[in-house]
A and B are shown apart, each in its own frame.
Chain A
Amino acid sequence: MIPLVFYLGLSALLFSIGIYGVMTHKNGIRMIMCIELMLNSANLNLVAFSSYTGTLNGQVFAIFSIALAAAEAAVGFAIFMAIYRMHDKINLDELKILRW
């Protein structure tokens, strides 16, 4: 059987990729995709721990977390649509009317 640590390592890798994406991409939609990646790496952790400790709580949490991710993505994309309608752009580093 595969040791738990490999699941954790995979999850860490996925999370880092997500972080890297968030840090480098300027496009809002890509950033949301990367955030989803990070969320899912956390879900992977939850499910892995759940399996390896013989309780189902973690899997329930994972389901909740997926549902919340859906809500978050929906709101996020709606915000981007509103921003796009107003400014005709989606690159977050160009939206700096509130900056110094």
Chain B
Amino acid sequence: MQTNRLLPFLVSLLFVAVVVIGAFGTSWNTVSELPGNPADQSNIEGIGMLIFTQYAAPFEVLSVVLLASLIGAIYMAKGEGNK
């Protein structure tokens, strides 16, 4: 278990170096200033509107996926012996 940790370490280092250099070297097209008063932001309301209007269909699909994985997990975790 302790064998060969050097290669993974080097690889992760390489990865983080590439990504960080890439991120710093890019000029991101962002808003110049965050909204001034954090208390004014009503993220929750906006997210709720989005989920139930624009993203209603993915939301429904996601609920089905969750249900399916729930049933699957219960079925597999239950095993055959202890019904």
Report which A residues bind B (CB closer than 8 A).
1, 4-5, 8-9, 12-13, 15-17, 19-20, 23-24, 26, 51-54, 56-57, 59-60, 63-64, 67-68, 70-72, 74-75, 77-79, 81-82, 85, 91
Q: Which residue of the partner chain, among B16, B29, B73, contacts A75 with CB atoms under 8 Å? A: B73
Please indicate the chain B residues that have their CB under 8 angstroms from the CB of A15 in the complex.
Answer: 15-16, 19
* CB-CB under 8 A for A63 and B47, given A71-B65, A78-B77: yes
Instruction: List residues of chain A with CB within 8 A of the CB of B59.
Output: 64
- Chain A residue nearest to B49 in the complex (CB): A56
Chain B contact residues: helix, strand, loop or mixed: helix
Q: How many residues of B contact A (CB 8 A)?
A: 39
